[in-house]
Amino acid sequence: MIKTTFNSEGRLFGTDGIRGTVNDGKITALMVVNLAMAAGEYFRGKAGTKKPRVLIGKDTRLSGYMLEPALVAGFTSVGFDAITTGPLPTPAIAHLTKVLRCDLGVMISASHNPFEDNGLKLFGANGYKLSDEVETVIQARMENDAILAKSPDIGRARRMEDGIGRYIEFIKQIISKNDSLAGIKVVLDCANGAGYKVGPEAFFELGMETVVLGCEPNGKNINFECGAMFPLKMAENTKLEGADIGVALDGDGDRVIFSDEQGNIIHGDHIIAVLAKEMILRKELKNNQVVGTLMSNLGLENFLKTLGINLKRTNVGDRYILDEMLKSNTNLGGEPSGHIILSDYAKTGDGLLTAIKIISLLKKSGLKASKFLRPFELVPQSLKNIRNIDKNIINNKIIQDMKVNMEKSLGDMGRILIRPSGTEDMIRIMVESTNQKKVNEITDKLEKLIVEQDRFEKNK
């Protein structure tokens, strides 16, 4: 029997659903069937309809062909009707779950991870990602025998044929019907992922001249040297093609990275700043606040202050950003990685929605992307990922003491963050300061100490 594995804290769920290498740990067909039955029991009746139903989307990974029918089997066995969409971005599934009055939605994706990995993102009937508390309840239900439907009550499954069209009409609402994007030339890289059909079609309908990359998925090339994880290909082509702007999505389409016309990558915090400035000028920014994360650049915080806008930081992950946005009645939030939430329109990061809005603002500005999309100077920041290491080592006293001492040396002009990744097996180090030399020195010292302490603990 194949058993489901959990993380070091005994949890099946991470910071963004369930994720791992397929058939090598927790991501197996058996686990997915059990999850579907447990989630079905929990969500039954949440949409208030007579017959419960679930919406199931996926990206382009080979393992999606295995996991999609496993979900269908699990949900129909507990009496749910299952609607499958085929490849669609994660934000499309979040949106359509609510629109179609489904009790829940499931996206089969491991986002920016390589094709060998896959995962599951669950959405409630309201289109929101699940809280830690709900995930804990579902995981506990997986330990018990499922309550199977009686034979006449088993659910049915059908394919949704108009998902792409309905999602395109939704994301086009981000701009006025009178706005035309004709005359704009864009390089669009869809990462051979979930946006490979809907992205080019949406841009075509909006009148843009589009050079398309990463739109030939074969099940194994998602995120491979393309898309938001490898945006240089998009950036180089933006310059070569003489395009006004470049756009790169990640594998499930909830993140976006931009390039200017000169082939230079635009930092995610610059995009948040552009949106915040526009919204404050139009008096659309609620409570004069933007929600970022611990990774948001200090330069963004300083720039927002000049506009009278407060930056509220949360833990890393768009789910935590949205939680804070809902609590504080804020309608703009995001991460440097390209997760941008415009909650007046979407309840999760949406790469295409953000791209359309930014391209519209760029055209109205009459400026080049290199000027318009960099409204402030970034504070020097170093990011280092340490792989193949015990993530609990960050609690080591020697490491923590060094971190405290180094933070004191930076004063108010910098920050240090050491955290375990919530989606991958690694520790992330972030050092930020106006002094680039000090940033590099501190990063190197912390990396060396963490590796040494991990080796010491393992050899005890």
Closest residue by Cα to residue 60 from 199, 211, 223? 223
Q: Rounded CA gap, 200 and 210, in Å?
A: 7
The CATH number for 204's domain is: 3.40.120.10
Q: Residue 410 has what pLDDT?
A: 86
> 151 in a domain, yes or no?
yes
> 242 in a domain, yes or no?
yes
What's this model's pTM, rounded to 2 decimal places? 0.89
Task: State the DSSP H helix or E strand holding residue 64, giving kind and residue range, or none if neither.
Answer: helix 64-77
Q: Residue 7 has what pLDDT?
A: 52
Task: Answer with the one of 372, 398, 422 that is the final residue of a domain.
Answer: 372
What is the span of the domain harbouring residue 429? 381-458
Instruction: Indicate whether 279 and 335 sit together in one domain.
Output: yes
The CATH number for 398's domain is: 3.30.310.50
Residues identified as active-site: 111
Q: Which pair of structure tokens corresponds to residue 366?
A: 């009459």
Instruction: Indicate whether 139 and 234 sit together in one domain.
Output: no
Instruction: Indicate whether 250 and 283 sit together in one domain.
Output: no
> 169 in a domain, yes or no?
no
Strand partners for 289: 310
Give the list of residues 6+ apart from residue 350 with CB closer than 8 angstroms, or none.
89, 91, 171, 253, 254, 340, 341, 342
Residue type, 339: H
pLDDT digit string (tens) for 95-107?
999 999 999 999 9
Instruction: Indicate whether 251 and 292 sit together in one domain.
Output: no
Q: Residue 14 has what pLDDT?
A: 85
Q: Other C-beta atoms within 10 Å of 49: how many? A: 13
Instruction: Indicate whether 79 and 157 sit together in one domain.
Output: yes
Task: Answer with the one of 372, 392, 416 that is the final residue of a domain.
Answer: 372
Instruction: Indicate whether 284 and 361 sit together in one domain.
Output: yes
Task: Answer with the one of 224, 243, 265 that is the final residue of a domain.
Answer: 265
> 421 in a domain, yes or no?
yes
Q: Residue 2 has what pLDDT?
A: 43
Q: The tokens 């402030």 sit on which residue?
A: 376
Give the number of domains in the chain: 4
> 98 in a domain, yes or no?
yes
Instruction: Indicate whether 388 and 409 sit together in one domain.
Output: yes
Mean pLDDT by 10 residues, the chain (460 residues): 52 89 95 98 94 97 98 98 98 97 97 96 95 94 94 97 96 92 97 98 97 98 97 98 98 97 98 98 97 93 96 90 95 96 94 98 97 95 88 89 89 85 81 89 91 85
Q: Residue 3 has what pLDDT?
A: 46
Q: Residue 411 has what pLDDT?
A: 81
> 346 in a domain, yes or no?
yes
263 DSSP 8-state letter: S
Instruction: Indicate whether 31 and 144 sit together in one domain.
Output: yes
Chain centroid offset of residue 307 CA:
27
> 126 in a domain, yes or no?
yes
Instruction: Indicate whether 33 and 129 sit together in one domain.
Output: yes
> 1 in a domain, yes or no?
no
Q: Residue 423 has what pLDDT?
A: 66
Instruction: Indicate whether 192 and 155 sit together in one domain.
Output: no
